[in-house]
Structure 1
Amino acid sequence: MRRIVRLARRYWVVTLTLGIGVVGIVLALAGAGWLVQWVFSAYALAVALWQAVGMVRAMMHGRFGLDILAITAIVATVLVGEFVAALIVVLMLTGGDALEDYANRRAKRELDALLTRAPQFAHLVVDGGYQEVPIDQVRVGDALLVRPSEIVPVDGVLLSAHAELDQSSITGESIPVDKAAGDEVLSGSVNGQEAVEMRATSTAASSQYQQIVALVAQAAESKAPVVRLADRYAVPFTVFSLALAAVAWWVSGDSVRFAEVLVLATPCPLLIAAPVAFIGGMSRGARNSIIVKSGGVLEQLAEARTAVFDKTGTLTYGAPELSEVRPEPPFDADELLAAVASAEQYSSHVLAASFIRAARDRGLTLHEASSAQEAATNGVVADIGGRQVVVGKFAFVAEHAPDAVRTSIAPGELAVYVAIGGRYAGALLASDRLRANAASTLQELSALGVTNTMMLTGDARETAEHIAAGLGITRVRAECLPADKVAEVAGIAERPVIMVGDGVNDAPVLAAADVGIAMGAKGATAASESADAVILVDDIHGVARAVRIGKDTVRIALQSIWLGIIVSVVLMVIAAFGFIPATAGALIQELVDLATILAALRAIGGRLDAREGARGVDAAAGVPAGSGSSGAG
């Protein structure tokens, strides 16, 4: 009952229209039928005037008012004495607006999910206990308590010995992640069953989850391209409807025939189908961890012909992994790796974590250094077990071990050299692995009509061409600066162009492309702020999924529009011969509007996603494990 009252208040014009109808019935039963015509007619004309004012304002801003058909139908039915039909047209017009709003709210439910669960407060650790403070008052360095099943309010590091966090809304990982003291915790993660303490490393505004929420808010506030899509059909539909009504009146000599045609020509399919479908598509994207910032992006995705990719962090994982250990006698592979990992504990280089992880995976013991010093951009020197261990670039290592020799590397690999006790000990090779589903994503894009692909990267040409060859990308531009990327994208003839990237250096080209897609799994960067769409999980297949959602959305919007237009035209032709009275026509048009809305709601995509998931399972069954590797052993 409360829900009904809430809906009645929200859509008060519909409630008032129904109330006027009830008043008319009561008056008719009381023997005051003559008054019903005046009440219905006056109310219908008042609504028509209200709609006309809004239509004129829209026209002054350059937007063609499709409501002219509905307004004309209301006035015509009143003038010819079809006052019941006039009230039904008013109910159809106001009810259509209400149904559109209701459908939009339903379609935006997933899009709003991140917003509704955004943390608002944090529990600050103070002397003797905890104090609840607004999240924007948390400062870097504050100690915070996160209670069981609560959302982590800001980015930080774990102070407690252990925690189990659900990071699915941030990283897409479906399994809770175990964390130990000192590990990074991301805002938006959901704590497990034990209260834990953490130390803030970011304010709320700069934390991962809040940045994602900002992207969602931007998407929620954007408007679907209703006018652009509807304008393709609005003018011809309006002209046809008015012309048919006029011809019916002229041939029959009966002015009522004009009203009978127009009550079936109200343009709700055009007014409702497009916005419901586009907001449904945006909602579907959000449910699939893709934030689309406007409905216009979905149209561009649907028409895309070219996809351009950054390399590092986009086609590859962006985190080089140990691929081979090449010891120099008398050292063996385990001894060399253990020494390197022990020294790298004191390095901030991106490869340090990879070497340490590889050593632990092999069960090797890491030792503490009595002293360690990192030489910026060159390497690290550490005294471990009475021996000096030097790890870094060849020239840096050669200064400590004159017998050092360069080792051969394949395209896409890099070598880290090692000296132990003043002797050259060997080298470790690392490579940035190609994403396992990168090739299948490109194949799916081609099947969706995005047949042209290109790679733009600042990396060396040999490495870029090696990666491109593995994926079948024939157009490669390497050693690019940000300005070079923008120029390359601007010169592409096959448009619209999708640009996919993840780094700060990709921000200019993402903004310049027809559709910029940011791989924003680890939070908002300059790339995600400049992009038109953001993939929230670390999965490049989201690019193909975004294109598919765009195509499905536009297809469903057009199908819904044409469904309404064709049915309306058929009914108008029948009415032109006098077979559909005005009152019956108005009731029938309500059913047409309802069918249009239900057709457009398919863009929310539950069944579409289920079918896509089934296709993905079937495809995966035929793909051997490890396919798509860069070939680094």
Structure 2
Amino acid sequence: MSFDLIQRPSPPAARPASGTRVELAHACPGRLRARMPLVGLDRLDTDHLERLIGATPGVSSVRINPGALSVIVEHEIAAGARERVLERLRSIGRDRLRFRRAEEDDVPSIAPLVLRVAFLGAVRVLPARLGTVIGAALLAPRVLRGARSVLSGKVEVELLDALAVSVGALRGGIGTAVTTDLMMGTGEYLEDRTMRHSAALLQDMLLPNPETAWLVRDGGAVEVPFDTLRLGDTVLAGTGERVPVDGLVLDGQALVNEASITGESVPVTKAPGDSIIAGSLIESGSVKIEARQVGDETTTARIAHLIQESLEVRSETERVAQKHGDRQVYMTLGLAAVTLAATRDPRRLSSVFLVDYACPIKLSAPVAVRATMSDAAGRGILIKGGRSIEKLAEVDTFVFDKTGTLTHGALTVTDVIPLMPESWPADRMLALAAAVEEHSNHPVARAIVAEAAAREAGHPEHGDVDFEVGYGLRTTASGAEVLIGSRHFLEDREGVDFRAHDDRIDALVNDGKMLLYLAIGGRPLGLIGLRDDLRADAAETMRRLRAAGVTSLVMLTGDRRERAEGFGAELGFDRVHAELHPEDKLRILAALQEAGHKVAFLGDGVNDAPALAQADVGLSMQKGADIAQAAADVMLMEDRLGAVADAREICDQAMRIVSSNSTMAIGFNSALFVAASVGALSPIGAAMLHNGSTIALLLSAIARAGLPSGADRARIARADAPRSTATRQE
């Protein structure tokens, strides 16, 4: 039964807020379009604004059209919904907006590549001088980047790029130089576009704080801004509301869903003396809470801090990759200097520069990686960059969060065991349980009702249902009192003795199942076993990971130990850690890494985000919380666990392609270098063979990595379509 400890006033009617002009342009049931001049501001981060609007209760999707200065919102069809959305729009002032930095506006354009292709197609019919001028203009940006590299005191790949195109251009090979520049630009364009597509602004994906909270004051409750809460305040949270603070329950009882924080798939009861976590959802009941942590000190805020710290540590990989590329510059410059000193022949020097090692090494690996990412996307896997591919291929330990990854996160009935089979056989007992439980919205109740419907068990008569929040239900049937709930409720509070059935109960618990107890007339009536649905491909996925070289499988969960160990034994996990909090998961991953393991972590909830950021590679399920997807290196766009094994196999293949292409590039270009340095290869021949070999390597990488089919591209497009901006919790 849901109840309020303190009578709260009705919310005031929506009223226009000053400062932000919003005009309703069009409206129909469940949808509105409003003119909002504020969305036309220069460099406005519209993604962030969409998330602000999407946090409004009842809003399912938001789309902003800056050109038309309009906002389109789809919302629930209910009384007051439209007014609530308009009030939300009017409440968003300029101080709450985010603006993109100047460098974030530098979106990669395909236009320069198109210009180079057009030039190469027309260069033969252009007057020589005009062709030279146009070609020089096209090459100028790359040459200037090389010059800036030298002026900054660094010898980087940009310098070699500039020399590669400059030498060819100065010797009259403007077409060859532009071709080289086109190939380099294509690789850079593919990489930049892919990285921008997969990137997310992490800080905006956090579980949003409520706009307001109910503060207990002078015997009543007043609604106050969230950021005014202080330590020691007493707040009230009721059915359907999120807890605004970490604190201690002072009064009342409630059924609380903590899945977004602890990963526990079944709601827990909170009573006086229990701790309660900010961000958890009150499913039933009402509690008064003493605030022990507020604002930046709450659990969700600490999770955000952990994510930021973990992500900062990961930048070392980028620096190592850049240093490797820079070393190729010194190698090529050294070889060119030796050639010039030995031969004094500028023609040979030009040939050597045109067969440099850096070009195929620089382009072959990124294109192979991007082709691999395209192939992965076609299989429902979004990989956030080549760094993630490399690291996933090195992983030797896979760590899984249980709820929502190994399981679907939804309970199902596995056992219906009558303890009075003569008068109450299985189907009759299940029908009674379903008839009573249909009055509840608890996950256990939904599972029992669904099972009874599937069995067509019927609907027996019963009396009024009384709810004991967090414990169970009470009614009458066949002239006797019926109790349904936990063993603690039936035995300790109601005196029904189940000890005679301990062997059967222990067997079910040891098998990883949770139990619902039934009694009638003070006697045990039956047991109903439930568990999360194990994904059909879970066992096969574990087998494939081991075949791909993964040596250790670990499961982490907030679930109770008995259930977790049952799942772990069934799937062959090496280690199982249960009853965990967010900090525990992070600690376990850090310990594995300190022991020398390369760790991949698969999770889906807000509580998993720190672990996803800490792991060498984080993977997030398709139905995971937005914050989990933001922190992950790999997102599974389809709700399919087998995609985890696909991702590992795809990354293994990518690294084989990169390794073999690098070997072939070094071998072939070494042969070209020898030919160029002894004068057996002209600059034109060097350019043709070098560029031809580079193109061949790129095509080989694309062909070996694979590209998505037409059907796969359509599926990717659907996956990229605008989603509800509401933050998911499980």
Normalized against structure 2, the TM-score is what?
0.58
Structure 2 partner of 1:164: none
From the superposition, tell whether residues 355 and 323 of structure 1 become closer, same or farther in structure 2 (CA, over 3 Å): same
1:255 has 2:342 as partner: no
- Go from structure 1 to structure 2 and tell me whether the alpha carbon gap of 1:45 and 1:425 turns closer, same or farther (over 3 Å shift): closer
1:160-309 equivalent positions in 2, closer than 5 A = 229=321, 231-232=323-324, 234-235=326-327, 237-265=328-356, 267-309=358-400
CA distance in 2 between partners of 1:245 and 1:62 (Å): 21
Query: How far apart, in 2, do the equivalents of 1:99 and 1:359 lie?
Result: 60
> Aligned to 2:405, which of 314, 337, 342?
314
1:328 is aligned to 419
Which of 420, 428, 431 is matched with 1:338 structurally? 431
Q: 1:426 to 1:101 in 2, by over 3 A?
A: same
Alignment correspondent of 1:139: none
Describe how 1:537-576 pairs up with structure 2 within 5 A: 537-576=638-677
Q: CA deviation at 1:312?
A: 3.0
- The aligned counterpart of 2:690 is 589
Q: CA deviation at 1:111?
A: 8.2
1:19 to 1:63, Cα distance in 2 relative to 1, 3 A: farther
How far off its partner does 1:461 sit? 3.1
Mapped to 1, the partners of 2:535 and 2:635 lie a distance apart of 18
- 1:482 paired with 2:579, answer no
Please tell me the residue identity of whatever aligns with 1:350: P
- 1:497 Cα deviation from its structure 2 partner: 0.8
Aligned partners of 2:175 and 2:692: how far apart in 1? 12
Q: Which of 176, 191, 200 is the matching residue for 1:89?
A: 176
Cα distance in structure 2, aligned partners of 1:63 and 1:255: 25
Give the Cα separation in 2 of the matches to 1:49 and 1:251: 31
**CA 565–62 in structure 1, closer or farther in 2 if over 3 Å, else same:** farther
Any idea what the Cα deviations from partners look like across 1:424-467, whole Å, max 9, x if unmatched?
Answer: 32222223354343233222222222212222222333333333
Partner of 2:680: 579
| Structure 2 unmatched runs, 5+ | 1-108, 200-314, 710-730
- Where do 1:435-454 residues align within 5 Å? 435-454=535-554
1:69, CA displacement in angstroms? Answer: 3.3
How far apart in 2 are the matches of 1:389 and 1:58? Answer: 81
Partner of 1:494: 596
- State how far apart, in whole Å, the 1-side matches of 2:132 and 2:319 are: 31
For residues 602 and 337 of structure 1, what CA distance do their matches in structure 2 show?
57
Alignment RMSD = 3.8
Q: Is this contact kept in 2: 1:297–1:532, CA < 8 A?
A: yes
Relative to structure 1, is the Cα distance of residues 227 and 514 closer, same or farther in structure 2, using a 3 angstrom cutoff?
A: closer
| Equivalent residue number for residue 482 of structure 2 | 389
Q: How does 1:403-482 map to 2 (within 5 A)?
A: 403-406=496-499, 407=501, 408-410=505-507, 411=510, 412-482=512-582
Q: 1:338: how far off?
A: 0.7
1:511 has 2:608 as partner: no
- Residue pair 2:401, 2:555 contacting (<8 A) in 1 also: yes
Bigger shift: residues 535-544 or 48-57: 48-57
For residue 119 of structure 2, what is the aligned residue in structure 1?
Answer: 16
SS in 2 for 1:537: coil
Aligned-pair CA distance for 1:386: 6.2
> What's the offset of the Cα at 1:74?
4.7
Deviation per residue, 1:38-76 (Å, 9 max, x gap): x66666666555323213446788986324334334544
Aligned residues: 477
- TM-aligned CA distance change 1:74 to 1:345, over 3 Å: closer
**Are the equivalent residues in 2 in contact too, given 1:556–1:602 (CA < 8 A)?**
no
Please give the alpha-carbon distance, in whole angstroms, between the structure 2 residues aligned to 1:385 and 1:54.
87
Distance of 1:552 and 1:545 partners within structure 2:
11
Alignment deviations for residues 179-228 of structure 1 (CA, whole Å, 9 cap, x no partner): xxxxxxxxxxxxxxxxxxxxxxxxxxxxxxxxxxxxxxxxxxxx9x8885
Query: Aligned partners of 1:62, 1:354: CA distance in 2, in Å?
Result: 67
Alignment partner of 2:414: what SS?
strand
- SS where residue 359 of structure 1 aligns? helix
- When residues 402 and 255 of structure 1 are mapped into structure 2, their CA distance, relative to the original with a 3 A threshold, is closer
Per-residue deviation, 1:18: 5.0
Query: Match of 1:601, as an amino acid?
Result: I
TM-score by length of 1: 0.66
Q: Which residue of 1 aligns with 2:631?
A: 530
Residue 92 of structure 1: CA displacement? 2.3
SS of aligned partner of 2:672: helix
Hey, what does 2:468 align to over in structure 1? Answer: 375
Q: Distance in 1 between matches of 2:192 and 2:161?
A: 25
Compute the displacement of 1:356 (Å). Answer: 1.6
Q: Distance in 1 between matches of 2:131 and 2:125?
A: 11
How far 1:491 sits from its partner (Å)?
0.9
Q: Separation in 2 of the partners of 1:500 and 1:342?
A: 38
Q: 1:23 to 1:483 in 2, by over 3 A?
A: same
Identity level (%): 31
CA gap 1:42/1:259 in 2 versus in 1, 3 angstroms = farther
Residues 324 and 430 in structure 1, CA contact (< 8 A), matched pair in contact too: yes
Amino acid at match of 1:498: A
CA distance in 2, matches of 1:581, 1:497: 50
Aligned pair in 2 of structure 1 residues 348, 335: CA closer, same or farther (>3 Å)? same
Distance 1:467 1:300 in 2: 28
Structure 1: distance between partners of 2:121 and 2:445:
71
State the Cα distance separating 1:592 from its structure 2 match. 1.7
Give yes or no for contact 1:380–1:390 (8 Å, CA) kept in 2. yes
State the Cα deviation string for residues 550-580 of structure 1 (Å, max 9, x = none).
Answer: 2222322333333333222211211212122
Equivalent residue letter for 1:93: T
For residue 324 of structure 2, what is the amino acid of its counterpart?
A: R
Deviation sequence 1:328-378 (CA, Å, 0-9, x none): 323221211110011110112211122122222222112575532322211
Whether contact under 8 Å (1:18, 1:91) holds in the other structure is: no
Return closer, same or farther for 1:255/1:526 CA change in 2, 3 Å cut-off: closer
Report deviation, 1:524: 3.4
Select 2:445's aligned residue among 352, 356, 373. 352
